[in-house]
Amino acid sequence: QVALKADMPSPGFVFEPYRVPEPIPFWKRLFTPSGWSRTKEDAILQFMNAFTVSKLRKKIGYNKKQFQEQAFNIYKEVNKLIARGDIPSLQKALTDDMHSTVKNEIRKRQSKWKSVHWELVEPAVSIRT
């Protein structure tokens, strides 16, 4: 008998760092071509988000509370893995870009500290989607 362990790399959609768009002043948004194009991009993004959420509600019964609970559980699991330094398990939970970033941070941390303790105080006060 041979033990076989299937190992699939991350599909690339579970966790990716979110960057808040750089705020631009009202006058720049209103009176410059770059401001108008930024306003257009922001409006299109909002419409795309609304369309996606409505499709999810129709097809799979998307529930905001359920999504937030799942995201919170993923967040806890990923942070526990980071604290333990479990790089192979992180590869399954993170996208390739994020895995590379976290792996480098873990290696830098391990050169300075012997171990890390991570604990999340529950309940979460504010979860926003």
pLDDT band at 27 (very low <50, low <70, confident <90, very high): very high
Radius of gyration of the chain (CA): 20
**Joined tokens for residue 23:** 């705020």
Which of 5-19, 43-57, 61-75, 87-101 bottoms out in mean pLDDT, i.e. has the lowest?
5-19
The 10s digit of each residue's pLDDT in 112-128 is 887 777 777 777 777 76
Q: Minimal CA–CA distance to 124: which of 70, 71, 72?
A: 72
**Joined tokens for residue 35:** 């401001």
Please report, rounded to a whole number, the percentage of residues in the chain having pLDDT higher than 90: 12
* Residue whose tokens read 């409006």: 43
More confident call, 64 vs 34: 34
The 10s digit of each residue's pLDDT in 60-73 is 877 888 888 888 88
Residue 73's φ and ψ, nearest 5 degrees, are -65, -40
The 10s digit of each residue's pLDDT in 75-106 is 888 888 888 888 888 888 888 888 888 888 88
Residues 6+ apart with CB under 8 A from 71: 127, 129
More confident call, 1 vs 60: 60
With 0-12 / 13-18 / 19 or more C-beta atoms within 10 angstroms meaning exposed / middle / buried, residue 72 is middle
The angle formed by the CA atoms of residues 112, 99 and 94, to the nearest 5 degrees, is: 130
